[in-house]
Amino acid sequence: QVQLKESGPGLVQPSETLSLTCTVSGFSLTSYSVSWVRQPSGKGPEWMGRMWYDGDTAYNSALKSRLSISRDTSKNQVFLKMNSLQTDDTGTYYCTRVSVRKPPFDYWGQGVMVTVSS
Amino acid sequence: DIQMTQSPSSISVSLGDRFTITCRASQDIGNYLSWYQQKPEKSPKLMIYRATNLEDGVPSRFSGSRSGSDYSLTINSLESEDTGIYFCLQHKQYPWTFGGGTKLELK
């Protein structure tokens, strides 16, 4: 059974760094890519970046200077770090499985709400 | 970046009606387009992939089509469970981009 679950702080101070973890089960990170997608409240989603199955990464150019995605395959975890957070970074952050057969996102995590506020 | 212009942004539809949502791509995306349904406080759910392929378990009243740079999601005979917000997503070129969403409500 494929599952993805995001975890991390619900509240981040402006200018600080956001660190999120996506823990997956039911598939291997060396066979599937994982992406991060965020969604401000009441708005459309935004693709943030991708951890490829081979360890390579791709980032949304709008976020690239602030964003880093990494992984620990032994723990079945993918990590997101984004620095210099501002209030417009508030929203729900999802990790998603990238499927080759049913592209791009066939499974989503439940999401984690992140609020940037002092 | 490829812009996905989705219309309408919201609509109220009666049970049993036929309804179509359209996303227009600013560049050629081939059929690298998928459709997602999102219920309140829930994660998006894959409905259609590669423009025309129905995801497993999605009712056959849903269908996807393409005409040039316009991609459409059609719901035949709307049911109450179909309400929610629908998004298109292009994955032809980075950054992958979503449409602005269509909020579907019942009249």
Q: Suggest the residue from B31, B49, B52, B96 to mutate for an interface test with chain A (most A CBs closer than 10 A).
A: B96
| Residue A20, CA distances (Å) to A42, B3, B45, B90, B93 in order | 22, 28, 22, 25, 25
Contact, B85 vs B101, CB < 8 A? Answer: yes
Burial (CB count within 10 angstroms: exposed 0-12, middle 13-18, buried 19+), residue B83: middle
Task: Compute the residue count for chain B.
Answer: 107
Minimal C-alpha gap between A5 and chain B (Å) = 11
pLDDT digits (tens, 9 = 90+) for A8-24: 999 999 999 999 999 99
- State which residue of chain B sits closest to A6, comparing Cα positions: B43
- State which residue of chain B sits closest to A57, comparing Cα positions: B94
pLDDT score at A16:
97
Tokens 């940037």 — which residue? A116
Cα A46 to chain centroid distance, Å, stands at 11
B50 touches chain A (CB under 8 A): yes
pLDDT digits (tens, 9 = 90+) for B16-62: 999 999 999 999 999 999 999 999 999 999 999 999 999 999 999 99
Residues of chain A contacting B101 with CB distance shorter than 8 Å: 43-44
| Residue A27, CA distances (Å) to A79, A80, A98, B23, B95 in order | 17, 19, 11, 32, 25
φ, ψ (nearest 5 deg) of residue B57: 90, -10
Tokens 């997503």 — which residue? B89
Contact, B1 vs B94, CB < 8 A? Answer: no
